[in-house]
Amino acid sequence: MNCSDCGTAAGKDPKDPSAKIYVFCCDGCKSPKCDKCSTLTATEVRVLDLRSRRTLKFWCNNSLNFNTLKLMETIIEDKDDIIARKDKIIQLLESTNKEI
């Protein structure tokens, strides 16, 4: 498996045979990333490499940005809904006050 950013293949580092290059997939978009392009710490990379019952999730920057945009759209929709409900409540209160 090769990193989708730099093309580095998983396995032994050609520059340092004692070092290992890790390539793992983003939990969001499933795109493979090497340990250098992922910006994860060495400890985080080792945890991801365990692959058994891991609790650490890796999201690449593209997936994070996309999910942030989706979240912003949801927040804006919720805000508009809250404003509409507030306006209805105000109208109901005003009509109730006129009756009293």
Tally Cβ neighbours within 10 Å of residue 10.
Answer: 16
Mean pLDDT of 21-25: 86
* Residue 90: pLDDT band with limits 50, 70, 90: very high
Which of 62, 79, 73, 24 lies closest to 46, judged by CA?
24
- pLDDT exceeds cutoff 90 at 52: no
Mean pLDDT of 5-19: 82
The beta strand positions in the chain, using DSSP E, are 11-13, 16-21, 23-25, 32-34
- pLDDT exceeds cutoff 70 at 26: yes
pLDDT at 15: 79
Which of 57, 52, 50 lies closest to 29, judged by CA?
57
Burial class for 35, CB neighbours closer than 10 Å (0-12, 13-18, 19+): buried
For residue 94, what are the contacts with CB-CB under 8 A and spacing of at least 6?
A: none
Which of 60, 61, 35, 66 lies closest to 49, judged by CA?
35
pTM: 0.55
- pLDDT exceeds cutoff 70 at 98: yes
Share of the chain above pLDDT 90, in %: 12
